[in-house]
Amino acid sequence: MSVNVSMDKVVIEFEAVPFSCYARRSIKLESMRLARRVVYNKLKLYCHQLNVRLGEEVYMHVFYKNFAETEGNRHTLRIETNPEYFTRLRGLLEPIVLD
């Protein structure tokens, strides 16, 4: 018997992130034409989504503010990508972590 395991998505979550941090980063990525922003009205799990693309296959999805988080101005920031793309996206991820 042989067992193969593959991981196709890595998820990183940051808690208590101010909206200004998310907004600043999303505006910069949109101005560089690397991202497209989506705002949801309770149809999905998160209120804000940023879809980042570097080329044909390299992607990163950034989600901000889970709908269950109703109070305050600091919310969850969730980043999803394929582990293979993590090193290529590192330059985009580091400013989010350092803010």
Specify the DSSP element, H or E, that contains 55: none
pLDDT digits (tens, 9 = 90+) for 32-44: 888 888 887 766 6
CATH assignment at residue 90: 3.30.310
In this structure, the number of other CB atoms found within 10 A of the CB of residue 42 comes to 7
pLDDT digits (tens, 9 = 90+) for 50-71: 888 888 888 888 888 887 777 8
Q: Is residue 5 part of a domain?
A: no
pLDDT band at 3 (very low <50, low <70, confident <90, very high): low
Q: Is residue 1 part of a domain?
A: no
Q: Is residue 74 part of a domain?
A: yes
User: What is the span of the domain harbouring residue 63?
Assistant: 10-98
Specify the DSSP element, H or E, that contains 89: helix 86-98
Q: Quick check: 9 and 32 in contact, CB under 8 A?
A: no
pLDDT at residue 43 in the model: 63
Q: Is residue 62 part of a domain?
A: yes
pLDDT band at 91 (very low <50, low <70, confident <90, very high): confident
Tokens of 94: 């580091």
